[in-house]
Structure 1
Amino acid sequence: MTSRMIGGAAFGAALFISGAALAEDAPKLTELSPNGADVCFGRIYDAAHLKAHAHQKVARIFFYYGHDPVSRPNEEPSALGDAAYNGFLTTTVRGARKPEWAAGWCNKEDPGDRASGIRCGMECDRTLASLKVDDKGRLILSNVQPDVYLDAGAEEDLGKAKYNEQALGSEDDNFRLDPMPADTCKAEFARIDPIDPALGAPLRQRLKPDQPFCYGRDYDDAHLKSHPDQVTQSIRVFRGPIELASFAASGDAANWPDGADIAVSVTTRQKGAKVTQTYSCQGEADQWRCSGSSKQKEIFLKRGASGTMMLANPNNALAIVDLCSKAAGGKTKSDDKVYRLNPMPQSACTP
């Protein structure tokens, strides 16, 4: 996923939407947007530049400051408000078919100092980028971290070779981006999530706010023998009476699936221990991004072919370990990344 999510160079990037902002709370950094409108900066590097910068992976880069440009008509709620983020970065590396993206909150490093720089922050106290505008109106994008599209602690999780493959290059920083029409950025972000009619209706239409569901998979001995690094023996994703009651009490059906609780049960094969965790989900592009009640790793749900559901956990971890920790325990192996789950009777998800 991009943190990495399903469908991107390794699954999409970005961050869990942590709140909503009113339209009047949109751009207020006048250095970036003097008139308060959404603004776009971008650059597409030619072959000569890339040849001269062998360690630069990024071939296309765009930064959008303003309202969410990523929302798509798949899993996004029909009445979705603006995301709390106001800074959106998307890059396409050499040879990639689609961009990756991340979002953050951009503010003055020192609100009391008019000359202060601008920092765009992310979850887990990470940095998306530092920004400034030069005297020609170009955006200087610096302090871009190599793991901007990866989870915290990804280098330890993935190992050095895999991390270097998925991270940005050593020359992917200090970008100078030209001002462009806002529609140019919107078109670039639209490349992230092209609608795929072959997959049928979005999850938000298949799975109703007031109806239970159960998806899962039990792995047989033959499968586990052929996947020695897989820890998961059995997995369930469901909404039952507790989750339905929670949404009925405080959810907003017009914004479905935002605020939808789901439960995930995982049984590991070493000890046969079963762990169940509750997550709260948000519609994000063509998937649901779901966060645990503490700092458990986020999970992502996406419609699969023939009525299946895809569940993904970024960076080789089951959904029960600390999201922000660089040394979280309970790591799993590479075969526990992505699950293709089948619809099951509700009785299969009964605790």
Structure 2
Amino acid sequence: MTSRTMAVRTMAGVALCAALAAFAGAARAEQPPKLPELSPTGADVCFGRIYDAAHLKAHPHQKVERIFFFYGHDPVSRPNEEPPANQDTSYNGFLTTTVRGAKKSDWAAGWCNKEDPSDKASGIRCGMDCDRTLASLKVDDKGRLMLSNVQPDVYLDAGAEEDLGKAEYNRQALGSEDDNFKLEPMPAETCKAEFARIDPIDPALGDPLRVRLKPDQPFCFGRDYDDAHLKTHPNQLTQSIRVFRGPVELASFVAGGDAANWPDGADIAVSVTTRQKGEKVTQTYSCQGEADQWRCSASSKMSDFSCDISQKEIFLKRGHNGTMMLANPNSAVAVVDLCSKAADGKTKSDDKVYRLQPMPQSACAP
């Protein structure tokens, strides 16, 4: 499933699952599955149900109030957030539910196939990353979708029960009666409208970074924090920060990059000046496109580090009105030498999310 926010995730499990999904996804994308049981014509199809008060009163352990299942093309992505063509787009099953009292819906995606392709009577299983199950499907003689085997943690990371603790896990997980749903066939547009509630368009965001910033274009974004801000954020180490592509980074992309897959392989530099001693640390990152954001790993090719820094990551995402958001939910922004002991573990300061303004290139000069 796509990563459309900078939310803190269970990074070890997500990274492993993402790697496995990318490998499996490449194979799946070669021959997208076609299931005439769900869609006889091959068109996008929708099934859904909204439970009334009487049903919910009779089923006190059912949290789900609205549920929709969509089989077809991704109904969540917007045109300007589609991942590049080289990324896997093999998911074809999409589930969204809204639980009682919730203001927002949850959603998950998977790929749906016959459990046994050689058996026409075989059921349909929709799998997720890390060999998890999204749901098992069956269409009855009235065209209704029987959706079963929905796991309580379908919207949570693998290993969430251990990470969250039992009480919080039970609060976030689905209820004991949230399974064996009977969904009615509905127009595809009904599902698309339901999924549109999840990620409404925000015109102030404009184009994603991969569209706004060009392969041969230098850029400079940054922020200088004044005394008033720093006084209210005593645990913030950053006094000023710059994110940029200059002559060195542009030349690197010309030498080894592929403009058709932009921004994959793009190098950026991040310079941070700390408040205590005014020391400046600059680190290079190599980026990959991930929907509408850039996922950038610390790179040693323009640095003189001997430690393994490949897992130090930051995320770049468009902000409102031309700004750029930089996030390091764990430990990635180089407020210290990434090979030092101080860089181990999770970030304990407030240096996690930055809203950066566009600046002239001279502001990012070495």
**TM (normalized to structure 2)?**
0.66
Q: Which residue of 1 aligns with 2:293?
A: 288
Identify which of 141, 147, 155 aligns with 1:141.
147
CA distance in 1, matches of 2:168, 2:267: 31
Query: Among the aligned pairs, what percent are the same residue?
Result: 72
Distance 1:319 1:33, change over 3 A: farther
Q: Which structure 2 residue ranges, 5 or more long, are not aligned?
A: 8-16, 299-308, 334-343
Deviations 1:28-68 (Å, cap 9, x if unpaired)?
Answer: 11221223222111111222222333333322211111122
Q: Which structure 1 residue ranges, 5 or more long, are not aligned?
A: 8-14, 321-328
CA distance in 1, matches of 2:315, 2:137: 30
Alignment of 1:323-338 (within 5 A): 330=345
Which range moves more in the overlay, 84-93 or 339-348?
339-348
CA distance in 2, matches of 1:222, 1:304: 25
Secondary structure in 2 aligned to 1:30? coil
Superposition RMSD in Å: 4.6
**2:79 is aligned with 1:73:** yes
Distance 1:62 1:216, change over 3 A: farther
Of structures 1 and 2, the one scoring higher in RCO (CA 8 A, sep 6+) is: 1
CA distance in 2, matches of 1:167, 1:335: 30
Distance 1:24 1:336, change over 3 A: same
**2:207 is aligned with 1:190:** no
Alignment of 1:1-351 (within 5 A): 5=5, 18=22, 25-76=31-82, 83-215=89-221, 222=231, 225=234, 239=245, 241-242=248-249, 245-246=252-253, 251-253=258-260, 259=264, 261=266, 278-283=286-291, 287-288=292-293, 290=295, 301-311=316-326, 317-318=330-331, 330=345, 339-343=354-358
Secondary structure in 2 aligned to 1:189? helix
Secondary structure in 2 aligned to 1:171? coil
Higher Cα Rg, which structure: 2
CA distance in 1, matches of 2:347, 2:161: 14
Paired amino acid for 2:323? T
Q: What is the deviation of 1:261?
A: 4.1
Secondary structure in 1 aligned to 2:215? coil
Distance 1:2 1:167, change over 3 A: farther
Aligned residues between the structures? 324
**TM (normalized to structure 1)?**
0.69
Q: Please tell me whether the aligned partners of residues 263 and 277 of structure 1 are also in contact (alpha carbons under 8 angstroms).
A: yes
Paired amino acid for 2:137? L
Which range moves more in the overlay, 155-164 or 21-30?
21-30
Distance 1:141 1:277, change over 3 A: farther
